[in-house]
Amino acid sequence: MRSNIAAFAACLCLTPLSAQADRSLSEYRYFRSLSVDLQGRIPSVDDVAAFEDSKFDTDAWIDARLAGTAYAQRVRQIYMDLLRLEVPSTFGFVRSMAVLRRNEILRADGSTVYVYFRNGQRRQNVATDGTFCLAQADTGQMYPRIGPAVGTAKGISDAALNAATVLVKPWWLYRDYTAANPTDRYDATTWATKYPQFRPVDTVLVEKNGQPTTSVRICKEEAQTPVTGTVYKTGRTSNTTPADRLVPLPGDTAFARDSGGKAIACGSDTAAFYAADCGCGPGLERCHPGNANNNDPAAFVLPTRSPLGFEAPFDATNAQQSQWSRFWWSEEAKHFIDSVVLEDRDFRDLLTGREDWVNGPIAHFYKQIQGATCCDNGVYFGLTEQKPLFDTTAVPSDLLPHDTTAWRAVADRGNLASGILTMPVFLTKYGSRRARAHVLYNAFLCKQFVAESVELTPSTEPDLTKRSGCSTCHSTLEPLSAYFARVRESDWLYLPESNFPTVETKMCNKTSLNITCRSFYDPAFSSESGAKLYGAYSSAENTAAGPKGMGEYIVKHPDYASCVVNQVASSLLGRALNEDDKARKDSWASDLVSSGYRMRSLVRSIVKSDAYRTSNNLSSSEWRGDAQ
């Protein structure tokens, strides 16, 4: 990419604008490189004219650009690329308690109506408990967990429809959705200007008859607004499937039998499975819209192909519900990295900082959606409410889901926060404990796990730090992975020691390791006296330290500073550093440390170096080292 930019720029700015200009070809190339790296573009005609002025102060020009957003974005992209912090579409953040689906229902007058619902919602009506809120007796149809209704539809009476459903003005249609009578409805023309990239898919904006949707009809249980509900105990001991249902009628779990009537947080994933009095909250703010009854229905139109930023995409398309969260997670990380660089903070904050930047969609996610994740079986251990990595009390209260461009600083996310290590984009991009440890080890310490030439032999040894052929790498990787033992894989749920001891002795051991225990505890490291938390076997100390411990381990490592230099310098020079660069690399690392790990100081030293000045003076074949 850089060589292409350089070649194009050569056509525009290597010819002096006046006969009085006294600049060498290498000086023009140097200025072009500075402009691309620190301004994010090739020099303009005015830039070149200023550069040719005899009073031009290169050092002052560099310092001015090092205070700009383009420079911050240049550094940010280095680490976004190293960490590949774009969550792919293969990761589906689809939790039933956050996703609203809908079925199309035939009314008695022959018209149809969409009815929204949550999959698995508990209801006191036996005919509809744990499934759609309208029964076969009312509609003539039965409803699977996913997909269209089965059977011949009959028109439902208004009385039966109104008994099971209500009309709500939801947050994705109204900015003032918490008002008694919301009026500020979504308008594609005005909202596109006020709140760019907030656009529900057309199919949730209009009714079947083509009329604009002004409110949605939703099952009554989902429309409930309390923040706290109660555990629903039915007295049923097993799941059965009556003849008029396609979904089994849920029986009481051990938790429900033991905890019936106890309080449960309505924002948790456990709530809808265990409470009949928990819904989606005011304006359905704890749920996302969906235009069908499938696993991940379309909800919002999102940018695609947006090299200039999401504010100016080349294209946009209907996106599934899960993509809405994924999209904003990446933007959160970008703003966080930008702030560390632009404010010239200690670069170690990237891995240890408790600060953050949030906009409306991110604030909405942390306040309303993050709890609707994993795991309903956590209640077995007394976990009826999440312990979030981002303390919800720190989220700005005045940001609304539509405020896509209103980014606010959060000074402290809470005592579990640790830079990008505790952000959803990182924890879902690298779903496993080992993947998280490996990418950090590689990106921030410039180290790789390379096995020795060993013979692999059959082994039943579960401890990879000891297994022949594996121990070479895993003796280091496993303890590093243990830092993430208390964060669920492919999730951001933190498992507190109070609920999930490293060794569980009361409810789980090798003999009683049921399916619930196996969700959190490792059979390979269980004994008759207890079971060990997944990923914790190699280091109880690192397990207790959590992601914060991983961040501290990296930034205190003797190779951290030299690796930062290596990653940044390699990108700016357009080549990998080699043995000939050792002296300057050591010098840059020393400067980085003495500056308090300020990125601005490091980049200034690099771009003023002879190595950078001559980095674009070589042909492509020369910097590749092609044989002559």
Q: Which pLDDT tens digit goes with each residue over 259-296?
A: 899 888 888 878 888 899 999 999 999 999 999 999 88
- Residue 621 in this model has a pLDDT that exceeds 70: no
Dihedral-angle region of residue 446 (phi above 0 means left; psi in -120 to 50 means alpha; beta otherwise): left
**DSSP structural state of residue 124:** S
Q: Comparing C-alpha atoms, which of 77, 515, 97 is closest to residue 265? A: 97
Q: In whole angstroms, what is the distance from residue 13 CA to residue 52 CA?
A: 11
For residue 469, the tally of other CB atoms under 10 A from its CB is 15
Q: Comparing C-alpha atoms, which of 1, 42, 62, 51 is closest to residue 603? A: 62
Tell how far CA 48 is from the center of its chain.
Answer: 42
- What pLDDT, on a 0 to 100 scale, did the predictor assign at position 212? 96
Rounded mean pLDDT, 572-583: 93
Weakest-pLDDT range from 389-393, 450-454, 507-511, 567-571: 450-454
- Residue 2 in this model has a pLDDT that exceeds 80: no
Please list the helix, strand and coil fractions of the chain in percent, rounded to the nearest 5, in that order: 40, 15, 50
For residue 386, the tally of other CB atoms under 10 A from its CB is 24
Q: Comparing C-alpha atoms, which of 2, 30, 40 is closest to residue 13? A: 30
Q: Comparing C-alpha atoms, which of 270, 293, 329 is closest to residue 219? A: 293
Question: Both tokens of residue 103?
Answer: 């079925």
pLDDT digits (tens, 9 = 90+) for 455-491: 777 888 888 878 887 888 888 999 999 999 999 888 8
- Residue 10 in this model has a pLDDT that exceeds 80: no
Q: In whole angstroms, what is the distance from residue 199 CA to residue 172 CA?
A: 9
Q: Answer yes or no: are the C-beta atoms of 160 and 138 closer than 8 Å.
A: yes
3-state DSSP assignment of residue 228: strand
- Residue 5 in this model has a pLDDT that exceeds 80: no
Task: Count CA within 13 A, CB hemisphere, residue 479.
Answer: 12
* Amino acid making up residue 429: K
Q: In whole angstroms, what is the distance from residue 419 CA to residue 422 CA?
A: 6
* Amino acid making up residue 617: N
Rounded mean pLDDT, 46-62: 95
For residue 448, the tally of other CB atoms under 10 A from its CB is 9
CA-based max dimension of the chain: 94
Rounded mean pLDDT, 519-541: 92
Task: Count CA within 13 A, CB hemisphere, residue 571.
Answer: 20
Question: Both tokens of residue 424?
Answer: 């959803």
| Residue 385 pLDDT grade (very low, low, confident, very high; cuts 50, 70, 90) | low
Q: In whole angstroms, what is the distance from residue 55 CA to residue 57 CA?
A: 6
Which residues are registered as beta bridge partners of 104? 114
* Amino acid making up residue 564: V
pLDDT digits (tens, 9 = 90+) for 337-372: 999 999 999 999 999 999 999 999 999 999 998 877
Stronger pLDDT, 406 or 313, i.e. the higher one:
406
Q: In whole angstroms, what is the distance from residue 600 CA to residue 602 CA?
A: 5
For residue 387, the tally of other CB atoms under 10 A from its CB is 16
Q: Comparing C-alpha atoms, which of 408, 349, 398 is closest to residue 597? A: 349
13-19: long-range contacts at Cβ-Cβ below 8 A with a sequence spacing of 24 or more? 13/42, 13/43, 13/47, 13/48, 16/52, 17/45, 17/48, 17/49, 17/52, 18/52
**DSSP structural state of residue 367:** I
Scanning 195-320, the segments in alpha helix (DSSP H) are 254-259, 269-274
Question: Both tokens of residue 575?
Answer: 């080549």
Is the whole model's pTM more than 0.95, yes or no?
no
pLDDT digits (tens, 9 = 90+) for 193-238: 999 899 999 999 999 888 999 999 999 999 999 999 999 999 998 8
- What pLDDT, on a 0 to 100 scale, did the predictor assign at position 377? 62
Domain spans of the chain? 2-65, 331-555, 560-624
- Residue 9 in this model has a pLDDT that exceeds 60: no
Q: Comparing C-alpha atoms, which of 466, 357, 481 is closest to residue 419? A: 357
Q: In whole angstroms, what is the distance from residue 472 CA to residue 476 CA?
A: 8
Task: Count CA within 13 A, CB hemisphere, residue 400.
Answer: 15
Q: Comparing C-alpha atoms, which of 45, 57, 157, 141 is closest to residue 108? A: 157
Q: In whole angstroms, what is the distance from residue 618 CA to residue 600 CA?
A: 26
Q: Comparing C-alpha atoms, which of 43, 34, 44, 42 is closest to residue 71? A: 34
Q: Answer yes or no: are the C-beta atoms of 307 and 377 closer than 8 Å.
A: no
Q: Answer yes or no: are the C-beta atoms of 340 and 349 closer than 8 Å.
A: yes
Question: Both tokens of residue 388?
Answer: 């979030």
Element (H, E) at 524: strand 521-527
164-194 burial, b at 16+ Cβ within 10 Å, e below that, comes to bbeebbbbbbbbebeeeebeebbeeeebeee
For residue 59, the tally of other CB atoms under 10 A from its CB is 9
